[in-house]
Amino acid sequence: GENVEQHPSTLSVQEGDSAVIKCTYSDSASNYFPWYKQELGKGPQLIIDIRSNVGEKKDQRIAVTLNKTAKHFSLHITETQPEDSAVYFCAARTGGGADGLTFGKGTHLIIQP
């Protein structure tokens, strides 16, 4: 089955700086890569996603890049703000149907004031 590795497990950045979280996946058939943000006491919430036929996608301060050859994808957050502090999960999905998602182990992003 699919295996998703995520790094780093904890990331601390100064407010206003950029943050980058990286993930690798094992199954070359995976075709969908979402990123979820989980705030304390809440469920994960989708923030951005990318399909395998696209190399990059941007939504305001958030961007995701995908390198299918290397089987890795990254989340980029620019001009970080205190409300960006949360746990971020990458995920990958292989095939069709209600397969669900395979998640990475999460990155705790801390924005230092």
Partner 1 sequence: DTAVSQTPKYLVTQMGNDKSIKCEQNLGHDTMYWYKQDSKKFLKIMFSYNNKELIINETVPNRFSPKSPDKAHLNLHINSLELGDSAVYFCASSQGWDRGFFEKLFFGSGTQLSVL
Q: Provide the binding-site residues for partner 1, judged by CB under 8 A.
A: 32, 34, 36, 38, 41-46, 49, 87, 89, 93, 96-103, 105-106
| Smallest distance from partner 1 to CB 34, Å | 7
| Smallest distance from partner 1 to CB 84, Å | 17
| Smallest distance from partner 1 to CB 32, Å | 5
| Smallest distance from partner 1 to CB 33, Å | 9
Determine the Cα–Cα distance for residues 28 and 94; give it in Å rounded to an integer.
8
Compute the half-sphere exposure of residue 20: CA atoms within 13 Å on the CB side of its CA: 5
Is 72 or 108 the residue whose CB approaches partner 1 more closely? 108
Is 11 or 78 the residue whose CB approaches partner 1 more closely? 11
Determine the Cα–Cα distance for residues 17 and 5; give it in Å rounded to an integer.
24
Is 77 or 101 the residue whose CB approaches partner 1 more closely? 101
DSSP 3: -
At 51, the amino acid letter reads R
Is 10 or 14 the residue whose CB approaches partner 1 more closely? 10
Cβ(86)–Cβ(97) under 8 Å?
no
Compute the half-sphere exposure of residue 42: CA atoms within 13 Å on the CB side of its CA: 11
